[in-house]
Structure formats: structure tokens, C-alpha cells
A and B are shown apart, each in its own frame.
Chain A
Amino acid sequence: MRIDRLDLERYGHFTDHQLDFSGADVRLHIVHGANEAGKSTALSAICDLLFGVPERTRLGFRHGNNALRIGAVLRQPDGSILEVKRRKGRQNTLLAADGTTALGDGTLAPLLGGIDREQFKRLFGLDHAHLRAGGEAMLAAGGDLARTLFQAGSGLTGIADIMAGLQTDADRLGSPHKRQGSKPLYEALDAYQAATARMRNEATKAEAWEAAEKRLADARAALAGLQADLEKAQRAQNRLERIRRVRPLLARLETLAAERAELGMGPDLPATLAERWNAAQTRLLQAQRHRQQAAYQLETALKALVDAGDAPRLPELATEIEALFQRAGSVEKARADLPRRQRDLDITDERLSLLAARLGRNSNPEALEQAQPGRVLAARIREKLAAHGRLDGARDAATKREMLAERSLTDLADTAGETDAAGDPLAAEAALAAALRLGEVEKRLDEAAREAEARADDLVTALTRLGRFTGTAEALAKLALPDLAVIEGWTARLNDLAQKQAKLLDALAQATADERKHAATLAELAADGEVPTLAAIEEARRQRDGAWQAIRRRILEKLDVPVAEWSALGLEDAPAPRFEATVRAADQLADRRDREAQRVSRHARASSDLAEASARREALERDRKDLAAQTHKREAEWQGLWRESGLDAAEPVVMAGWRRQVDGVLALYRQGQEAARKKAGLGEEAARCAGHLRDAMELAGRPVPAGETELSRLRARADAAVKACREQTDKVEKRRQEQARAERALRDAQREKAEAGEALAAWVEGWATDMAALGLPKGTSPTEAEAALGAWEDISQELHGRRELAHRIDALSHDIRQFHDDLNVLSEKTIALDPTLALDAGAPDAANRLLMALDGARQRNTRRGLLADAAGKARRADDEAALELADALAEHDDLQRLHGLATGDDVPSLVALANRRRELVKAEQAVLAELAQAGDGHSRTALETEAAGLDPDGAAAELAAMGQEISRLQAALPQVSSDLRDAERALEELRQRSGIGEAAQEAAAAEAKAAQNAARWLRLRAAGLLLTQAVERYRNRNEHPLLRRASTILALMAASGGNPVTHLKVDYGDGDHSVLLGVRRDGSDVQVQDMSEGLRDQLFLALRIAAVEAHVDQSAPLPFIADDLFITSDESRTAAGLAALVELGASTQVVLFTHHRYVLDVAQGLEGVRVHELVAAA
């Protein structure tokens, strides 16, 4: 598929821009555009056209994404044309040439050969960055043939990185072939080992548990035994110590019993009685004294109270007196304020009488109140005043507009008749537009004529260049020639035969060389003496046996032996030595065979190899003959193929080139015919255009001057005529519209003036009624009415003030009167309670004097209260003294009665005797208690018995021995207890162990981790293996055709310089890694590493071009789009690169975008190049 034309209708900043990529003879289209001219946009347009506009394109910035439109005329491989347009959208984005009919999004699929956008860019796109990356990748691969070919073939440049990445990733995980502890695989395996070791080491064994339990039981038993012994010893020690304790106590008891018997019997008086008795006596005396003092104090207090007299009653009125006193201040203030208020009232009345006089009315305030106009009336009159102003203004304005409109009409009437219309501008414009739509047809006509001429010239040149044929292009078109594909088939076939022959010759040479080599080996062995081969030994033995047979027959058996035989055996002179010599020779050979086994073996191998090489050479000779016959037959068939055309056929490869040239000539022929047709069509179009222009002038009322035929002048005249016609018509129309506007304004002004007059009449009628209501004559002017309304407003305000003043004066007078009434009433009440008070209610300070009387009464009351309190207190003290005396007497009597005492007893002596008896009893009880404690709970009798039966001296010795035994046992106790605690702790420690659960879980986790790493490692290894194998496989399949073609292209490119690379070759080196080499003109090799950067770029370009050619040979050809490939190349390299692209142009369409002017300069010297200028859009 080729793009014949690319239409950038609305795309990026382009509008209706076309790039004409047609022309089968054009091998290379160079699109030149300065920076910002839209080179990248045009590049992007090709992809978007073929594969659709991406969802998030940025190229709708000018026209909007929905309006984006790219069109193209595509030429299909069969020569048919497909015109399409592409819009942006999700579906049905591919449209027919009409721009509306959807073609179906799969329409282009057969032309694209099933590749997608990314594949297209990778396979058919190349820019400088990728070119340089390709060169770098070859360098990185060290010229490795397989990788280099693969990278050039796929357009990918990172195969080495991917291989290295796979290897690095696998190494990072760790390999099972080599232990590296820091790698994840080994970390996981080590973790597994560590965890399983922990499981073994940390597991609690049953034996350990049992041992711990036994240890605990033993410790418990030891402690129990020790505790039993200790208890027994302590029991014996206790008994001896008890006897020792109780002996003195028993003796003391006997002594106390004797003293008690001596004291005898008496009253049992408590020890405290003596003290209590003395205290009761003292208290009685004190009570009698207190009683006398209290009686005296009571009498004194009662007398003072009687002296103070009765309580005053004035405080009963305290609340009323204090309230009245508080009001007195405000009453005094009111009394001072009243005259001022009265004066204000008089002034207000004077102002009112003045205002009333202004309106001619009575000044009586009540009459004025009645006569005030209502609020509704006042508001209505104010509204009417405002309406009167508005209506007056409207009438004046309408009158003014009326005058202006009349003046405009008069002016327009004066200018009538100055303009007049002629011609039909609409029809004239349509005719002119029809002509303009045809564009500058005369230029296109000229261009088509030049094109037709150029095509004809090209055809002549091409025919002249074409060898082997001398007729016309028509004759050439009719000539029966084999197709290019057929010729290329023959090329391959004959090449194949040639290759086979070359290989055969190589093999033959090798076989011959081998033959020579093995013969030389045999000769070399022979030169060192006879080789003791089996055959040689047999020969020697045969010689020996033959000699012996002859000697035996002749000497022993006396038989005749022929002389010839005798001498043949060398027995003529000395038969015996000769025989002995043969015997020795045979034996020596047999011995040497063992000694020289290696030599023998080498001889045997060389003999066998020689035979094999000879056989191989002979077989190859036969193959060569067969192949020669086959080649001869093929060549005859090849000639037969051309017989019908009458041409002599050269080699297929030459004829393929010639056939391509023929296709080029025929394409030029077809283009010439097409150009002629185009020229004729444009001639007709020019005539149509002239007709339209003439029509336009006639219709504009300006006929064509006779003899005017030139299209450009006609177009200018028609344009001027149509414009003039249009201006005249517009002027007439404008005056008509102005007159209509003035008439409409006059009518409106007159109507508004009449309406204002009517409204004023209605106003006058309502005004008279309102003036009557205001008490004014009906002829009152609005100004007078406004003044009257003002006076009424002032009166209203004065009346309001007057009302408030009068009300205030009344209130003050009332307060003063009320206060005097209340003072009189209170004075009367006061005198009723205390007639001693002489009050004058009319006095100015009456209230104050009332308050002072109240304070005096309150002070007297306080003093009297204090005296009453003192009397009460003296009475209570007297009562208490009486009670105290009664209590003391009762206590004295109670003591006598309770203890059976008679009056006059010596109570303290009786109490002392009773005390001694009680002390003896208490001492006895204390000893008994001590005995009970010391006797460990045994009874007194048992203790007396126990003490009686023991010798005191023997007991002491026994007690000492027992103490020692107990000390010994107690000393052993801490150790035994400690053992028990240790045993308990050991068991508890075992019990608290967490077990191996955690280690077991860790082991399981480590296994899982190792599994993940191992699985990943194996897959990375497998991926690396697959990639290596696949790349190698690609090399196997593509090495020869790709290299051959790339070699040709590189030679074309690198032809300049002192010692250029003329072809490529492969160094198979060690066999594992074949390497690509360049061969210079002088035969020296250059490795990729030693190539200059530019040469490497050229090599990669050559390989890419060869790969693209191979690709289009097998599937749908698509345009190859190169983007500024030569930005760092000098002129000669640029020329070489362009030549390579032209070469590729023979296989498929090639478009190079560049913004470098020098590329165009270089391209001028090349055939088959067309330059397109991309002009920056406005």
C-alpha cells in the first residue's frame, strides 16, 4: 500500500493542507519543514490515518477533537485507489471520500497485513534516536551475529538488556548450582535449617520431664522426714523446760494461802470508797455557798428592771414612717419643678395662636385639634402635587420630539432622487462565486501542461536509459515479459544452485585436502621405517615360511626348487643367513608391533581416513557433475522464458533489475497519459469559469468590454462590478429605512403629547375637591397648597407638645397633694401611740422630725432589753444553785446507804483492810495464770505430780543434749527447703516453655519462601534459555538473505572514503558465537567495536532496510517513515543514507521528514526524489 495523497483537512494547526505523495517513479519523498512547521504533526497524522486517532490526542487544540479530520488517497498493491477520511471517535471513524459514509473500521486491515500501531512504528518507522540506539546495541552485543540480526529485524534494540536482566534477576535470587549465603534462596534454606535445628534442640524431652518430677518428689520426702525428727526432739525439750518453769510457781502459791488466812474476815469495801467519801463531803459545802450568792444577785437585777420603766410603742409605725420619709425628697423636687412647666405651656399657646392666625383661624387649641386635616387627605394632596410636575414635563418633551421628527422628514424630502439602484447584485454574486469556486484554474492548467510535458520528457529519458529494448513505450507495454516475481523466483533458484555448487566445491576441496593430508601422514609414517602392521608381519612370516619351505624341499627332502623361486627368496648366496634374517625380521616385526602400538594405530587410522576421504571426494565429484547438469538445464529453461519477448536474457539478477526498470518506464507512460487527460479536463474548466464571470458582469449591470478573454482580468473586472452594484443597492435601501424611522417618531410624539394634555385636565378637576376639604378656595395654586400643608404640620407638632406638658403638670400637682394627706394621717397615728410627742404636720420638716422620734424610741427599747436579759440570767443561776445543793445531799446519803455505813464510821481505815485482802487474792490468781501458761495447758495437779517425779540435776543435762539435737536438725532445714524450691522451679520452667511451635512454623514459612524463590528462578532461567534459542533460530533462518542484501546496501552507502567497507562477512570463530564483520576494500576486516559511530549507524540502517525489504516481500508493503535520520551526518554520509532510502524505495514507499535544508541540497543530486515543503500554517 502507498499513500498517494495525505489531506490534513483539520488536524493540529493544519487546515486543508495536502501532501502529494503520488508517482510510482518517486523512490523517496522528502518532506521538509522548518521548526514548528508541523513535521511531527504530519508524521503523527500518518499513524492516526492508518490506525485511528487516539482517545487522548493533543492535536485538537485548534479545531476541537470532534472536528479532527485526516484524508488520504491510498493506492492498493493491485493499483486500485481507495480514498478515505479518518475522524476521531470510538467507532465508524473511517469514512468514504464524501466524508460522511462510514466504511467500517476494518476496511484498512487487509492493506495493513494485520499489524497494529505499535508494530507499524517499530517495523516501518525509524528516527535518529532509534538508529543510534541500534548502532549502540550492536556494539553492546560485540557484533554478535544472532543478536545483531534479531535487533535489526525486529526494530528492538534492547535484547542484550533483556538477556542480561533475566540473568541478573535469576542471579539475584540465587542459583542451586552455586551456594551463596546472601541470596534469598539460600537465606530461605538456611532459615529452614536453623528452624529445624531449633526444633530438635528446643523440644522438651519426656525424660527431662520425668527427671524433674522425680527430683521434686525426692525433695518433698526429704523435707517431710526432717520436719518429723525436729518435732520429736522439740516435744522432749518442751517437757523438761515446763517442769523447770512450774516448780517456783507452785511454791509461791503456798505462801500466799498462808497470809490470807492470817488477815481474817471484814466488810468488803471498794478501794475507791475513801476517795469518793471525801469528795462528797467537799461538794456539799461548796453547794451551800453557791446558793447564797445567787439569791443576792437575783434580787439586785429585778430592782434595776423596775427602775427602767415601760417600753415605748413608736417602732410599731417604723415601716410607714420610713416610707413617707423616702417620698419627701421627690415631693420637694416636684414642688420646685411645677412653675417651670406652667411657663412652657404658656409659650406653646402663644406659638399656636401665631400659626392659627397664619391660616386665618381661631387660636383655641381644642378648635385647632378639631380642624386639623386628616393624614389621608394630606397624602393625596402631596401625590397630586408630584403628578402635576410629571404631566407637565411629559407634555413638554412630546412637543420637542414632534418638532425634531418634522425637521428630519423635511431634510429627507430635500435629498430624494439623488440615488437610484441598477442591476441584480444577488444573481451577480452567485455567478461570481461559481467562478471563484473553480479557483485559479488557469494556474492549474499551466501546471498540468508543464506536468504532461515533463512526464513525456521523463518517459523519453527512461526509454533511452532502458537497455535491451529500442521501441516505443506503447510497444513495450504490449511486450510479453515475465513478471518480476517469476524472475525473482528464478533468481532465488539459480542462486540456490550457485550456492549449492559453491558449497560442493568447498566440500570437494576439503575432501581433496583431507585425502592429501592422510596420504602425507602415511608417507610420514613410512619414512620412519616400516610400520609393523598386521599385514607387514604376515608378509614377513610369509617370507620366513616360504624360505623354510624352499630350504626344506631342496636341502632336507632333496627335491628340485626352481631357480627363479630360489633367487626370488634371496637364497642364492647364503640360504642359511637369509633364512635366519627372515626369521629375525618376522620376530622383530611382531615385537615392534607391541612396542610401537601408537604408530601402528596412527597408521591404521590414517589409512582408514584416507579411504574415507577418497570415497567422499569421489561422491562429491559425482554430485558436482549432477549439479552442473542441473544448472545447465535451468539455464536453458531461463532462456526459454524470454523467448516469446524476443529478448536475450542475461542473468536473472540482472534481468530482475531490468524488469524493475521496465515497470518504472511503464509507470511513467501511464503517468504521462494521466497528465494529458488532466490537462484537457482543466481546459474545459477554464472555459466554464470565463462564462460565469461574464454572467456576473451582465447581471451587475456592467457588460464585458469586447475582446476581454484573460481569466485573471475578467475575474478582477467582475469582482469590481459586483461590488459596485452591491454598494449602490445598499445606499438606496439605507435612505428608505431612515425615512420610515422619522415618520414613526413623528406619530409617536404626537400621540404622547395628546395623552399628557388629557391627564392634566383630569388633575384640575380632582384638585378643586381636595382644596375644599382643606378649607382653601378651589383656585388655590399648588405652591399655596403646599404652604398650607406645611403650616398644618407645624400646628400638629405644637399641639402634641402642649398635650404632653399639660399632662405632666397635672401629675406633679397630684403627687404633692397626696404626700400632705399621708403625712397628716401618720401624725395622728403617732400621737395616738405616744401623746408626749408634739408634732406639726404642716411643718416643712415634719417627716424628718417623725423619723428622729422613731430613732429615740428604738434606743430606749434596746436599753430595757439588756436589763431584762440580766434579770433572767440571775434567775437561772439561782435555780441551778438550788439544784446543786440537792444533788450533794443525795450523794452523801447514797454512799452511807450503799455500803451499810453508820454515821460516825472511820471510813478510810475500813477501806484499807478490805484493799489488802483483795491484793492477796489477786496475787494468787496471777500465779495460777502464770502456771497455766507455763504448764502448756496441763492441770495444777498433773503439774505437781510431774514435778514431783523428776530429778532436777538429771533434767538439766538431758535438756542440753536435746538443744544440740534440735540445732543440728534446724541447720539442715534451709538446704532441704532450697532443694525443694529448686525442684519446683525446674519443673515450672519446663512447664512454661513455649514449645517448638514457633520454630515449626518458621520452618514451614522458610520452605514456602524457598519454594517461591526456586519457582521464580527456574522461570527466569527458562525465559533466558527460550530467548537465546529463539534469537539463534532467527539467525539460522535469516542469516544469508539478510546479510547479502545488507552487504549490498552498506557497500552503496559506505562507498566513499579512502578504504571503505565493501561488504559484510561472518566470522564463525569458535562456532558458538558467530560475529558480524565488515570487509574493507583492501581486504582487511573491521569489527563492529572498531567501526566509527557513523559507520555503525550505516550498518544498522543497511540491516534495517534489508529487514524491511524482506518483510514487505512476505507481507503487505507499507510506507516506510523516516524521521530526520541524518541530523549528525556530514554531507557524504547524508548522501549515502539517502541513496539507501532510494534503494528501499524500489520495494516500498519511503517518506523522509526533515527540517534540515542541507538534506534537500544533497537530495538534488539523486534521481527519484521528490521534495515537499511543509509551510507553517498561520
Chain B
Amino acid sequence: MRFLHAADIHLDSPLLGLAGRAGVRADELVGATRRALVRLVDAALAEPVAFLIIAGDLYDGDWRDFMTGLFFAGQMARLERANIPVIILRGNHDAESLMTRQLSLPGNVQVFSSRKAETIRLDDLRVALHGRSFPSRHVTENIARSYPPPVAGYLNIGVLHTALEGKPPHAPYAPCSINDLMGKGYDYWALGHVHERAVLAQDPWIIFPGNLQGRHANETGPKGATLVSVEEGRIAKVEALALDQVRWARLAVDAGDCADEAALGNRLVTAFADAGTEAEGRTLAVRLRISGRTPLHRWLKSDTERLAAEVELAASRAGGDIWIERIVIETTDALAAPAAAGDALAELAAAIAELREDAAARSMLADDLAALRHKLPPGALAAAGLDGEDETAMLESVLADAEALLLNRLAGEA
């Protein structure tokens, strides 16, 4: 017997940070979470599995569009036709109190109660699933302790949406310790909430399957569900299934010994090609980080439009469908600053360095920053790195980039 364990589907939530771009596969991004769900159901039918567990955050929140619920119901109907039961637990994003709309789901779907922990028995499979849905977004008590005792002679599975002991950067939802879980005497803990796949223990198995589809640059690498094989009432094997539609990657490229743009371009092509191979032909969304001490530093900081074009070119040379989410320049300058004393340009460099340290200079930018904060929606502010609380650090970073930009233009003039 085999079953599938998924979590954190966040159905119909968009992929963040990808600026518009025309492309053959531009529609890959739209509905990526839906297609990942379809793949999950495809996998369940192909195996076929005995049942499917969704351990919380099926939805990103209350449906903005009723079609979200209908789409899910449609996929569950496919499983119903194959007699595959689905057991769902509500998490912090789709807690009972958050979901104002309801939809009758097919008969094969059972949802854990949010009032108290309960056991759902699949008697013909001799499987008992224990769980409790989140009644509201903030569940701060240890609900694992209230889970029922294991059912004798059955395979016992605990289903829980939890941040465990508050794993940063996740908020401490339904906190509990691994010892709490081990002490329950279950065979398998199907957890949800943490978006990075993790196998926390093997006896019993305690697993976060990760989310089904990465949605921004912090959710990189293969995403999907966990396929569990059971032999003679015991867990025999677990394996990760990659079901994501769009793969996120953070690529680090060292421009340290790149003497010119062509050399950097070649390095980028290699990095993109490797990432493309790793993504197995999926659409790839990339956050690119260029570092190293390089003579290209000022150019990288200054000519962002051409850099973006060069990066796009390298991506297209590497083949595959690659979207650039952001280019982060963390290089340092390998070109010597003008050193001669008495030279106006050298004095300029020194002046710029001093101004960067100068609170008054920063304050002159504060108006601009405030205007931007007023104009930009929150998502854009976050993407531009302007949503922090430490305004000094923000302006310091802006001025550092501006210095490189300026030196590049002055060097062009010289």
C-alpha cells in the first residue's frame, strides 16, 4: 500500500517578483499552483495510492475567487472516481474562521474537525489518521498533546500543521517538540507549514513534505509531495516526488576573474545551463547574485538596463525557459580609486566616500524615500528593499550603489 502526503499548496496564489515579459511560455507562471495540484492528482492516480493527505494551507486564505474552491473540488472528483480517499487538515492560512465560503466536496474528501482532535479510520485499509484543523489563524497552544491514542492493529498517522518549536522565519503556530510527536506512538507524522522539505525522524517518520510549488525566490529547488510505501502495516519507504511547474533557483556567479562582459556572459551561460539541467526542463525563475572583486563592478552597478539585457541574452543562449526575478550585485571594485593627491577626481572620490558617511547627505534622500514609500504598493516596496525599518541602512545601501554608478560614468568621461 502507498499513500501521498502533501501540504502548503496555497492554491491560486501568484508567483512573486517576476516582472512582466513576453515569452512563449509566459502563461506557465499563471496558475502554476493549479498545475502542481493537477500533477499531484495525476501522481496519485498513476501509482495508484490508497489515500492522499493534505496537511494544511491548501488555500492561501479566504477564496478571492470561488473558482479556486471549484477547481479543487474538480480535482478531488477525479480521485473519487478512482476510489481514493482524501484527508484534509486546515492550517493557519485556511483556518476554519478565515474561510467564509464553503463548497460541497466530493464524498471521498474528509476534513479534520477544528473543535477537537479526532481520528478518521479507513477500516478496509486498517489505517487511522489523527488530526485537528486550525479553528483560527493563530493557534499558539500545543494541540499535538491532545491527539487521541493510537488505534491498536492499525497504521497510525498523525496529521498536524505546526511550526514545531518556532523554526525561524516561520511564526510559532501550534508549537510542539519532536519528543511530543515521538511520544504519541504513531507510525508516521504528516506535518505541514514549513515550506522546505525535511525528514525530521525515521522512527517514527516525521516529515515536512515542503510546499507543492515554490512561489518566490526564497522557495527554491524541487517542490512536491512525499510518497510513502507501507508493507505489512509498517512504513517501508518514503520518497520525494517533484511536482512543481515552475522551479525557483538562486544562482550565485563569481565575476572575480572576469575581465570583461563577454567573460561574464560565458559564465552566466554555464550557470543557467546547469540550473536548467537541474530543473529538468521546467520553466525556471532565477534570482541571480553576482559577486567577487571585479573590474566590472562599476559597470554592473551603473548600466542596469544593459546588464539585464546581457543576462537575458545569456539565459536565452543557455536554452530553456528562464525568467530573471532579480539581479543582485554584490561585487566589490577591483579598479583602483584615483589616488593622486590634488587631483579633482580623486577628491571627488574622497568626497563621495565622506558623504556616504554623512547623516545630512542621507537626510537629503529621505524625502525621495518617503515619496516612494507613499506611492508604492507593499509588494513593490518589499521587492525594492525599501520596506525595512532601518532607514539608515537602506539609504546607506542606496548611496553605495550610487557611488559605483557615478564612478562608472565619470570613468567613461575620463
Contact segment of B12-20, B128-136, B168-176, B203-211: B12-20
On whether the beta carbons of B398 and A1009 are closer than 8 Å, the reply is: no
Query: Given contacts A1023-B405, A1115-B342, are A997 and B355 in contact (CB under 8 A)?
Result: no
Which residues of A from 1036 to 1050 have beta carbons under 8 Å from B? Answer: 1037-1038
**Is there an interface contact between B369 and A1030, defined as CB atoms closer than 8 Å?**
no
> Taking the nearest CB of chain B, how far is it from the CB of A999, in angstroms?
9
B344 partner residues in chain A, CB cutoff 8 A: 149-156, 1034, 1038, 1107
Tell me, yes or no, whether A205 is within 8 Å of chain B by CB: yes
Question: Cβ of B348: which chain A residues have Cβ within 8 Å of it?
Answer: 150, 154, 1027, 1030-1031, 1034
Interface status of A14 (Cβ within 8 A of chain B)? no
- Report how far A150 CA is from B70 CA in the complex, Å: 69
Residues of A within 8 A of B65 (CB): 199, 202-204, 995-996
Q: Does B260 make an interface contact (CB < 8 A)? A: no
Q: Are A1026's CB and B352's CB within 8 A?
A: yes
Which chain A residue lies CB-closest to B327?
Answer: A1012
Given A156, A1026, A1038, which contacts B406 in the complex, CB threshold below 8 Å? A1026
Q: Chain B: how many interface residues by the 8 Å CB criterion?
A: 76
Q: Which A residues lie within 8 Å of B382 (CB)?
A: 1011
Query: B98 contacts the other chain (Cβ, under 8 Å)?
Result: no
Q: Is the CB of A1026 within 8 A of B413?
A: no
Shortest distance from the beta carbon of B128 to any chain A beta carbon, whole Å? 34
Q: Is the CB of B30 within 8 A of A1011?
A: no
A441 to nearest B CB, angstroms?
Answer: 45
Given A209-B70, A1008-B17, residue A114 in contact with residue B340 (CB < 8 A): yes
* B-chain residues with CB within 8 Å of residue A1018 when the two chains form the complex: 365, 368-369, 372, 384, 386, 398
Closest residue of chain A to B368 (Cβ to Cβ) is A1021
| Chain A residues in 8 Å Cβ range of B43 | none
> What string of 1s and 0s marks CB contacts (under 8 Å) between B53-79 and chain A?
000000000011111111100000000
CB distance from A1040 to the nearest CB of B (A): 15
Given contacts A154-B343, A1018-B368, A1011 and B409 within 8 Å (CB-CB): no
| B 254-288 binary contact with A (CB < 8 Å = 1; else 0) | 00000000000000000000000000000000000
**Are B340 and A995 in contact, CB atoms less than 8 angstroms apart?**
no
Q: Please state if A156 and B414 are interface contacts (CB–CB under 8 Å).
A: yes
A1026 & B338 in contact (Cβ 8 Å cutoff): no
Q: Known interface pairs A153-B344, A1011-B383. Does A1034 touch B351 (Cβ–Cβ under 8 Å)?
A: yes
Indicate whether B347 reaches chain A with its CB closer than 8 angstroms: yes
Q: Does any Cβ of A come within 8 Å of B345's Cβ?
A: yes
Q: Which residues of A contact B384 (CB under 8 A)?
A: 1010-1012, 1014-1015, 1018
Q: With a 10 A CB-CB cut-off, give which of B352, B354, B376, B385 has the most chain A CB atoms.
A: B376
User: Is the beta-carbon distance between B341 and A997 smaller than 8 angstroms?
Assistant: no
Any B CB within 8 A of the CB of A983: no
Task: Tell whether A1022 pairs with B345 under 8 Å between CB atoms, given A162-B413, A176-B371.
Answer: no
Q: Is the CB of A1007 within 8 A of B377?
A: yes
Q: Which of A143-193 contact B (CB under 8 A)?
A: 149-159, 161-162, 165-166, 175-177, 185, 188-189, 191-192
**Which residues of chain B from 223 to 266 have a CB within 8 Å of any chain A CB?**
none
Q: For chain B, residues 10 to 35, give those with C-beta under 8 angstroms from any C-beta of chain A.
A: 12-20, 27, 29-31, 34
Contact A1004 B17, CB 8 Å, known A997-B34, A1030-B352? yes
Neighbouring A residues of B64 by C-beta, 8 Å: 199, 203, 996, 1000
Residue of A nearest to B68 (CB): A995
Contact A1004 B14 (CB under 8 A): yes
B30 touches A1001 (CB 8 A): yes
Instruction: Determine which residue in A175, A191, A1027 has the highest number of CB atoms from chain B within 10 A of its CB, and name it.
Output: A1027
Type the 1/0 row for B349-380, where 1 means its CB is closer than 8 Å to any CB of A: 00110111000010011001101101111011
A contacts with B, residue count (CB < 8 A): 87
B340 in contact with A119 (CB, 8 Å): yes
Is there an interface contact between A162 and B66, defined as CB atoms closer than 8 Å? Answer: no
A1012 vs B328: C-alpha distance when bound (angstroms): 11
Taking chain A's interface residues, is the majority helix, strand, or loop, or is none over half, making it mixed? helix
Q: Are B66 and A208 in contact (CB under 8 A)?
A: yes
Tell whether, in the assembled complex, residue A1014 and residue B374 are in contact, meaning their CB atoms are under 8 Å apart: no
- Among A996, A1011, A1107, contact of B380 (Cβ-Cβ < 8 Å): A1011
Give a binary string over A982-1009; 1 marks a CB under 8 Å from any B CB, 0 the rest: 0000000011011111101111111111
Q: Are A204 and B338 CB-contacts (below 8 A) given A176-B371, A1029-B355, A1033-B351? A: no
> Complex: how many Å from CA A1023 to CA B364?
12
B318 within 8 A of A: no
Bound CA–CA A87/B371 (angstroms): 59
Decide: A991 and B70 in contact? CB cutoff 8 A: yes
Q: Is A674 an interface residue (CB 8 A)?
A: no
Q: Does A332 lie at the interface of the complex (its beta carbon under 8 Å from any beta carbon of B)? A: no
Q: Report the minimal beta-carbon distance from A1030 to chain B, rounded to whole angstroms.
A: 4
**Do residues A114 and B409 form an inter-chain contact, with CB atoms below 8 A?**
no
Known: A118-B414, A1001-B30, A1008-B383. A156 touches B345 (CB 8 A): yes
Check A204–B67 contact: CB distance below 8 A.
yes
Query: Does A282 interact with chain B (Cβ within 8 Å)?
Result: no
In whole angstroms, what is the CA distance A565 to B183 when docked? 112
Q: Does A503 contact B (CB under 8 A)?
A: no
A1001-B406 contact given A1009-B20, A1011-B383, CB 8 Å threshold: no
With contacts A162-B413, A998-B30, A1026-B361 taken as known, whether A192 is within 8 angstroms of B15 at the C-beta atoms is no
In the assembled complex, the Cα of A158 lies from the Cα of B406 at a distance in Å of: 13
| Max count, chain B CB within 10 A of own CB: residue among A154, A202, A1018 | A1018
With A and B bound together, what is the CA distance between A209 and B304 in angstroms? 48
Name the A residues within 8 Å of B347 (CB-CB). 153, 1030, 1033-1034, 1037
Q: Are B14 and A156 in contact (CB under 8 A)?
A: no
Interface contacts beyond A1020-B405, A1029-B355, A1033-B354: sample of 17 additional A-B pairs, CB < 8 Å, sorted by A: A116-B336, A152-B344, A162-B409, A192-B377, A206-B63, A206-B101, A996-B12, A1000-B12, A1003-B14, A1004-B16, A1018-B368, A1018-B372, A1018-B384, A1022-B402, A1025-B365, A1111-B342, A1114-B342
25 residue pairs bridging A and B, Cβ less than 8 Å apart? A115-B343, A119-B338, A153-B344, A155-B345, A189-B375, A191-B20, A203-B64, A203-B66, A205-B66, A206-B63, A206-B102, A996-B64, A996-B67, A997-B31, A1000-B64, A1007-B383, A1008-B325, A1008-B326, A1009-B20, A1011-B384, A1016-B304, A1022-B398, A1023-B402, A1026-B403, A1114-B341
Chain B: residues with CB nearer than 8 A to chain A? 12-20, 27, 29-31, 34, 63-71, 101-103, 304, 325-326, 336, 338-345, 347-348, 351-352, 354-356, 361, 364-365, 368-369, 371-372, 374-377, 379-386, 395, 398-399, 401-403, 405-406, 409-410, 413-414
**Chain A residues near B (Cβ < 8 Å):** 113-116, 118-119, 122-123, 149-159, 161-162, 165-166, 175-177, 185, 188-189, 191-192, 199, 202-206, 208-209, 990-991, 993-998, 1000-1012, 1014-1023, 1025-1027, 1029-1031, 1033-1034, 1037-1038, 1107, 1110-1115
